[in-house]
Structure 1
Amino acid sequence: MSLLDRLNEDMKQAMRNKDKQRLTVIRMVKASLQNESIKLGHELNEEEELTVLSREVKQRKDSLQEFEKAGRDDLVENLRKEIEVLGEYLPQQLSEEEVDQLVKETIEQVGATSKQDMGKVMGAIMPKVKGKADGGLVNRLVQQNLS
């Protein structure tokens, strides 16, 4: 079942359950997917769908941090629920240990020896973990392993 089909089914179920927040999140994701499809001029493949989903989650996580700093607990709880709903459509996230192992393997593959090689390592590892790990975590682990 494609992501769009799954979103349509979940949208219908959210309507039946009168789950307004879930319905709103699903509609926003569908709109983002359709906008990206129009922008690219073709139907999205799985990787492009994953990119859009990851971008949506990242935007919400960034907003979540800002709202927490500002003490807007009402908005914080709302965003947490949205992130939870979006997480259902993302692939299983890698653990920190799994990401660390991938980082070490990638460093070895590209022959990185210092922090100056960070760009090479990040360029090689990000396609491997796309949608499966947070970029900030990957960045932090690469820095730790290169120092």
Structure 2
Amino acid sequence: MLRDDIKAETVAAMKAKDKDRTAALRLIGAKIKDRDIELRTSSKEIEDDALVMDVLEKMAKQRRESITMYVDGGREELADKERAELAVIEEFLPQKMDEAQTRAAIEEAKANTGADSIKDMGKVMGELKAKHGAVLDMSLASKLVKESF
């Protein structure tokens, strides 16, 4: 399980005295625990790996946005710290589809849903998320779907 991999990597980083990696891994663990606490009151059950992947995706998105803001603000040292955390987070995420693979998936989704205009974008995006959710960059997909009509 992904959660166990993260715990094992945290222990390995602590033994290696890699402070930055340990801090990033502990941050991931804390976010996962926060999500567990949120779900205690929820009635729906979520598969553990899906929960961890969702947490990691959100953390990666936050880091990317922070990097952009720090670079725009001239705070390169803070952007470097965020890049280091993002690298650790991305170790546990599956490899994203590249642009060519995304375009092929969009064409397949358009054919499956019978989409022929921009009004059908929601159907196409829903199909893409259902089939390729974890490995698809949804912001890129959205841009490419708009271009394809």
Question: TM-score, normalised to structure 1's length?
Answer: 0.91
Structure-2 separation of matches of 1:82 and 1:131: 20
Report what 1:32 is aligned to. Answer: 31
Report what 1:98 is aligned to. Answer: 101
1:95 alignment partner AA: D
Bigger drift between 67-76 and 132-141 goes to 132-141
The counterpart of 1:142, out of the listed 124, 141, 145, is: 145
The counterpart of 1:52, out of the listed 49, 55, 58, is: 55
Alignment of 1:117 with 2:120, yes or no, is: yes
| Count of residue pairs the alignment pairs up | 145
2:7 alignment partner AA: N
Structure-1 separation of matches of 2:146 and 2:131: 17
Structure-2 separation of matches of 1:21 and 1:37: 25
> Structure 1 residue 16: deviation in Å?
1.4
Task: Say if 2:113 and 2:124, in contact at 8 Å, map to a contact too.
Answer: yes
1:108 alignment partner AA: A
Structure-2 separation of matches of 1:75 and 1:68: 8
Structure-2 separation of matches of 1:129 and 1:51: 14
> Structure 1 residue 76: deviation in Å?
0.9
2:11 alignment partner AA: K
> Structure 1 residue 126: deviation in Å?
1.5
Cα distance per residue 1:71-90 (max 9 Å; x no partner):
11001111111111111000
Structure-2 separation of matches of 1:20 and 1:94: 32
Q: Structure 1: where are the runs of 5+ without partners? A: none
Task: Say if 1:37 and 1:44, in contact at 8 Å, map to a contact too.
Answer: no
1:29 alignment partner AA: I
Cα distance per residue 1:65-114 (max 9 Å; x no partner):
11111011001111111111111000122121111111110011111111
> Structure 1 residue 44: deviation in Å?
4.6
Report what 2:6 is aligned to. Answer: 7
Task: Say if 1:37 and 1:43, in contact at 8 Å, map to a contact too.
Answer: no
Q: In percent, how many aligned pairs have the same letter?
A: 31
Task: Say if 2:32 and 2:52, in contact at 8 Å, map to a contact too.
Answer: yes
CA root-mean-square deviation: 1.4
Structure-2 separation of matches of 1:118 and 1:136: 13
Give the secondary-structure state (helix, strand or coil) at the position aligned to 1:113: coil
